[in-house]
Amino acid sequence: MKNSSIKTVVAVGIGAALFFVLGRFVAIPSGIPNTNISLQYAILGMLAAMYGPVAGGLIGLIGHTLIDLSWGGSPWWSWVIASTFVGIIVGLFAKKLALNEGDFGGKKIALFAIVNVIANVIAWIVIAPSLDVLIYAEPVAKVFSQGVFAAIANSLTAVIVGALLVAAYSKTIAKKGSLDKE
């Protein structure tokens, strides 16, 4: 138990660094303000599914806050909270997905995809825009179109890139019970 808590601390640190590098230097702007086609949500989904909800949430929180700070503004808290939420929700299914067992078959791929889509849709279409309206009093139509766009873009990256990553990763580890007694 002790060991896994240290691992979580480190995974959060490295995960947030990955999230930061991908979000800050690799983001492809989409033309809508503060909305990018961003690879970091694939990484967030994968690491959350490996290390659980606490790690997932913190990776989203720290990574996103650092990105906003490095652009020179104060963090856009409504979107930071949404990123945190994605990490937590995907992380809740870590035990079910059990990625370290090495078999990432049809059922698990489907579960991974569904969880990621649900988490992203709630985060970007419900949480982020509502907080935008509440905190920043921006027009409802604007924040919801931003939200819908972010939800689609982030779900797509999380599902396509994320699932491909997990599939490739699970091939590199030995399957549970792959040894036979002779």
User: Is residue 36 helix, strand or coil?
Assistant: strand
CB of 3 to another protein, least distance (A): 6
Cβ proximity to another protein, 121 vs 149, nearer residue: 149
Residue 137 φ/ψ, nearest 5 degrees = 50, 45
Reported for 97-106, long-range contacts at CB under 8 A and 24+ positions apart, including other chains, are: 97/49, 99/46, 99/49, 99/50, 99/166, 99/169, 99/170, 100/50, 100/173, 101/175, 101/176, 102/170, 102/171, 102/173, 102/174, 102/175, 102/176, 102/178, 103/170, 103/175, 103/176, 104/166, 104/167, 104/170
CB of 115 to another protein, least distance (A): 19
Residue 125 sits in the site that holds another protein (CB under 8 A): no
The count of chain residues that interact with another protein, using the rule CB under 8 A, is 58
Q: Which of 23, 26, 103, 123 binds another protein (CB under 8 A)?
A: 26
Residue 174 sits in the site that holds another protein (CB under 8 A): no
Cβ proximity to another protein, 32 vs 181, nearer residue: 32
Q: Which of 107, 110, 114, 168 binds another protein (CB under 8 A)?
A: 168
Cβ proximity to another protein, 169 vs 181, nearer residue: 169
Choose the stretch contacting another protein; rule: CB under 8 A; options: 89-97, 104-112, 120-128, 152-160: 152-160
Residue 177, by phi and psi: left (phi above 0), alpha (psi -120 to 50) or beta?
left
Report the C-alpha gap between 12 and 160 in whole angstroms.
23
Report the C-alpha gap between 62 and 83 in whole angstroms.
10
Binders of another protein among residues 57 to 116 (CB under 8 A) are: 58, 62-63, 66, 69-75, 77
Residue 157 sits in the site that holds another protein (CB under 8 A): yes
Q: Which residues bind another protein (CB under 8 A)?
A: 2-3, 5-18, 20-22, 25-26, 32-34, 39, 42-43, 46, 58, 62-63, 66, 69-75, 77, 135-142, 145, 156-157, 160-161, 164-165, 168-169, 172
